[in-house]
């Protein structure tokens, strides 16, 4: 792969070329599926390629984004925070103001609309922390579709408010009771459920990963973040930002932010969770400490043991603790176009409290990782600007934060 082949060309050329027809971003991606599921994924791929280009689909999605989701979300200049740190200016793309409080609805509404055009009656997914389940249950309610959400029993107990939200929205929460009873088992159970009824149902993944065509579908629906942000930032300042950054869990808010800036002379940074530090099991920084491998039907960087089994992961942000990362990130990493940096729990929590106090915005702990990198950058650069995608709001996190970090005094009395 030529380094920076696309760095000064229209990104439209890039998205036409990647992924390839068989779902590859260079050597990453693909579709490692049990034979029984191959027809189901082929059907989704074919339907998406035909439906997503129709003007009816595009105009309906546009109307949903405007009238139901509240898009475009604004870009906001953090004047007080920037001044506190130095001369570099920090801007936020406010995905926390998207309906339901995070970016996940961007692809869930797209997947729901695709299901409707395909004549499906049900949406099926798994969820870990429950954020994807809530976003998908919202989409199902909007489109009048049934919704089955598979969730490990351990996660159901931990995430009671999200389970309640899903049920209020009319979703069917199916407890998964085998193995460790968390996300990995829920993924397997959701695939099994889907295999039984794919004629009437569609599987909806929670991030820009999984077997082809999901990394592409989710990227395409999330690209609205970067498309809007680029135009809004240029309207506000007359310039492009020097740096664009976003947090990377599975990689959906980040890929959606990054791609529209790919052809610009802009530094792009993905921020991974370093948790408690670099020891095995203490973090979920797949790019920094992983190696190429296959999990959940796709190839990418994977935190794995010598037998290729995924290693345990941890982050203070439950939406970031996944042992792999979307395959397009692996590709952009190896190409050298996107840089991946790490932020630990402590630095993320400092950013959480700083944004709350200086700007009156309580960010999700996931988003606080991206923000922490921007703060680090602003402290070490005397000029320029950095645009951060604030993937979600922090209301969901406050009980956990108070219990573990209080209300932030210790970060301000150093
Ligand atoms: C789920 C989630 C993330 C991580 O998911 P990506 O696919 O990496 O974007 C980040 N922020 C928030 C608020 C989330 O809910």
> DSSP strand E in 356-404: where?
385-390
Out of 127, 248, 253, 361, give the residue to mutate to test ligand 1, the one with the largest number of ligand atoms within 8 Å of its CB.
253
DSSP states of 274-305 = EET-SSTTS---HHHH-EEEEETTEEEEE-B-
- The CATH number of 69-101+219-412 is 3.40.50.1100
- Domain 25-66+104-216 belongs in CATH node 3.30.2130.10: no
Look at ligand 1, atom 7, and give the residue with the nearest C-alpha: 252
Quickly count helices (H) and strands (E) in the chain: 18, 14
- Considering the candidates 88, 103, 247, 329, report the single residue annotated as catalytic: 103
Q: How far is the CA of 93 from the centre of ligand 1 (A)?
A: 14
What is the β-pairing status of strands 89-94 and 75-77? antiparallel
Q: How far is it, in rounded angstroms, from Cα 224 to Cα 91?
A: 17
SS3 for 243?
strand
What are the φ/ψ torsions at residue 338 (nearest 5 degrees)?
-115, 135
Name the phi and psi angles at 307, rounded to 5.
-100, 5
Ligand 1 site, CB within 6 A = 102, 104, 131, 207, 247-254, 319-320, 364, 366-367, 391-392
For ligand 1, atom 14, the nearest C-alpha belongs to 319
Do the two domains 25-66+104-216 and 69-101+219-412 of this chain adopt the same fold? yes
**How remote is the C-alpha of 38 from its chain's centroid?**
25
Helix axes 214-222, 104-117, angle to 10 degrees: 120
Nearest CA to ligand 1 atom 2: 319
Which has the closest alpha carbon to 10: 219, 216, 266, 264?
264
Instruction: Give the pLDDT of the chain (414 residues) as one tens digit per residue.
Output: 343 445 445 888 999 999 999 999 999 999 999 999 999 999 999 999 999 999 999 999 999 999 999 999 999 999 999 999 999 999 999 999 999 999 999 999 999 999 999 999 999 999 998 999 999 999 999 999 999 999 999 999 988 999 999 999 999 999 999 988 888 889 889 999 999 999 999 999 999 999 999 999 999 999 999 999 999 999 999 999 999 999 999 999 999 999 999 999 999 999 999 999 999 999 999 999 999 999 999 999 999 999 999 999 999 999 998 999 999 999 999 999 999 999 999 999 999 999 999 999 999 999 999 999 999 999 999 999 999 999 999 999 999 999 999 999 988 876
Mutate which of 98, 320, 330 for ligand 1 pocket (most atoms within 8 A of beta carbon): 320
Per domain, the residue ranges of the chain are 25-66+104-216, 69-101+219-412
Mutate which of 249, 270, 315 for ligand 1? The one with the most ligand atoms within 8 Å of its CB, which is: 249
Backbone φ, ψ for residue 389 (5° rounding)? -85, 115
For the entire predicted model, the pTM comes to: 0.96
CA of 319 to the centre of ligand 1 (A): 5
Determine whether 78 is an active site residue.
yes
């Amino acid at each position: 792969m030529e380094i920076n082949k696309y760095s000064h060309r229209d990104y439209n050329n890039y998205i036409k070329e990647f992924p390839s027809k068989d779902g590859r971003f260079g050597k990453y991606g693909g579709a490692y599926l049990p034979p029984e599921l191959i027809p189901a994924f082929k059907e989704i791929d074919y339907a998406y390629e035909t439906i997503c280009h129709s003007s009816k689909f595009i105009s309906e999605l546009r109307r949903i984004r405007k009238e139901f989701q509240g898009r475009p979300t604004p870009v906001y200049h953090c004047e007080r925070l920037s001044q506190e740190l130095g001369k570099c200016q920090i801007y936020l793309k406010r995905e926390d103001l998207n309906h339901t409080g995070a970016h996940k609805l961007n692809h869930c509404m797209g997947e729901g609309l695709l299901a409707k055009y395909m004549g499906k009656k049900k949406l099926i997914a798994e969820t870990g922390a429950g954020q994807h389940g809530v976003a998908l249950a919202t989409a199902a309610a909007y489109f009048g579709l049934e919704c089955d959400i598979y969730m490990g029993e351990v996660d159901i107990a931990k995430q009671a408010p999200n389970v309640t939200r899903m049920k209020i929205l009319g979703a069917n929460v199916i407890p998964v009771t085998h193995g460790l009873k968390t996300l990995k088992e829920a993924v397997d159970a959701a695939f099994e459920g889907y295999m039984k009824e794919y004629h009437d149902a569609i599987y909806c993944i929670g991030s820009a990963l999984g077997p082809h065509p999901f990394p592409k579908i989710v990227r395409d629906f999330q690209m609205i973040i970067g498309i809007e942000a680029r135009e809004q930032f240029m309207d506000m300042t007359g310039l492009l930002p020097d740096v664009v950054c976003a947090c990377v869990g599975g990689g959906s808010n980040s890929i959606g932010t990054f791609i529209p800036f790919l052809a610009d002379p802009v530094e792009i940074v993905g921020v991974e969770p370093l948790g408690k530090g670099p020891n095995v099991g203490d973090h979920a920084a797949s790019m920094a400490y992983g190696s190429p491998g296959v999990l959940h039907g796709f190839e990418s960087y994977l935190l794995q043991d010598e037998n290729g089994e995924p290693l345990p992961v941890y982050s203070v942000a439950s939406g970031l603790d996944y042992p792999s990362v979307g395959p397009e990130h692996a590709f952009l990493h190896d190409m050298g176009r996107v840089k991946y940096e790490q932020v630990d729990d402590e630095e993320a929590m400092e950013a959480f409290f700083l944004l709350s106090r200086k700007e009156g915005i309580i960010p999700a702990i996931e988003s606080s990782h991206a923000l922490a990198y921007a703060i680090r950058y602003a402290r070490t650069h005397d000029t320029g600007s950095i645009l951060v995608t604030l993937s979600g709001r922090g209301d969901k996190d406050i009980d956990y934060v108070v219990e573990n970090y209080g209300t932030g005094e210790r970060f301000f009395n150093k």
